Amino acid sequence: MRIAVDVLGGDYAPDEVLRGVATALRDDFTPEELLLVGPEEEIQSRLKAEGVAVPNILHTTEVIGSHEKPVEALRKKRNSSISLCVGAVKEGAAGGLISFGNTGAAVAASSIGLGMLPGIRRPGIAVVFEWASGKVVLLDAGANPEPKSSHLFHYGVMGTAYCRDMFGMESPRIGLLNIGGEAGKGHSTVREAHDLLESSSLNFVGNLEGQDLFKGSTEVLVTDGFVGNMLLKVVEGFMEYLLHGMADAVSDSDSSNSMLATFKQLVGATDFAEVGGATLLGVNGVVLIGHGRSKASAVAPALRNVRKDLRTGVNAHITEILNAQEGSAAEA
């Protein structure tokens, strides 16, 4: 099944996206596996210069910029690259898509164009952190800033399916991000979500605080998109700050250089402009949203993630897990 690539999405598009596509074609993708959405002549010229075969192309020069209002822009730009990517998935010309462009536009286009999975009301962006203590999926990282309690419960379901399929975790722990560990903490939406998760058959471990993201206390950390997006950007910014500070402070000794190399590796695991992107869960299709600052090195990992999502059937498993829940939790 083909993967549609939004060639025009991102701060460095189309140059870096096409460089990344060329790398993917050299490494482990065939032209038949990709559908490139963007300016046909430029795509052909650049890929031929890279010495790789040119995949099928869906021509457009229309793009939704990072500062445009998503829904308004989607109405005005019917042939935008993200709209055509979503259309390709909806029509069966592609099985999934990647975009490094306007996140809001990708979420809105996918939600409207593909619809939601049965029983799911709102999508969520799943960001994977990788620490020494293990992987943690943060959900939601920005798709739904004002969720209902039922949406947070659904994030627990989606995170469970994602961890099982992508990482082989049979029973991933689910934590609910809150201002304290006690069950009665937080505002009404969080308290209601706590009750829904606790009454389900999911492996819910209770409320967790921000520092638990780093401690290996959970594999799925559920929160609303407003808090989740802020947490994501705080982690990104703090890691960059520490890396620059360490680079300025260390000497040229072997031990210092080794320490700096180790820290760069740690930061690399949280550099979302390099690791590929984040999966939009809950929509009736496979959608991966990359960081707008992504360079060529992020493209191949993004494509591999979508290919794995398609092969494992994560969406079908989300539906299965949701249907297995009893009572109001499944119907919330």
CA dihedral 257, 263, 269, 271 (to 10 degrees): -90
Looking at the structure, tell me whether residues 134 and 271 fall in a common domain: yes
Residues 13 and 37: beta-carbon distance below 8 Å: no
Residues 133, 25 within the same domain:
no
| In contact, 123 and 107? CB cutoff 8 Å | yes
Q: What is the mean pLDDT of the chain?
A: 91
Q: Which residues contact 75 (CB under 8 A, 6 or more apart)?
A: none
Q: Is the pLDDT of residue 13 over 60?
A: yes
CATH code for the domain in which residue 236 is found = 3.40.718.10
Q: Please check whether residues 141 and 266 belong to one and the same domain.
A: yes
Q: What's the pLDDT at 75?
A: 96
Q: What is the pLDDT of residues 102-135, one digit of tens each?
A: 999 999 999 999 999 999 999 999 999 988 788 9
Whether the per-residue pLDDT at 93 is higher than 50: the answer is yes
| pLDDT tens digit sequence for 42-67 | 999 999 999 999 999 999 999 999 99
Residue 304 lies in a domain: no
Cα separation, 219 vs 169, whole angstroms:
9
Contact 63, 80 (CB under 8 A): yes
Residues 140 and 254 in one domain: yes
Domain membership of residue 38 as a residue range: 1-114
Mapped onto helix, strand or coil, the DSSP state of residue 94 is coil
pLDDT score, position 48: 97
Looking at the fold, whether 144 and 84 belong to one and the same domain comes out as no
Please give the pLDDT value at position 328. Answer: 46
Residue 116 to residue 88: CA distance in whole angstroms: 17
Tally of structural domains, the chain: 2
**Which of 175-189, 212-226, 240-254, 270-284 bottoms out in mean pLDDT, i.e. has the lowest?**
240-254
Over pLDDT 70: what percentage of the chain?
A: 88
Q: Is 282 among the domain residues?
A: no
Q: d(Cα 286, Cα 311) in Å, to the nearest integer?
A: 11
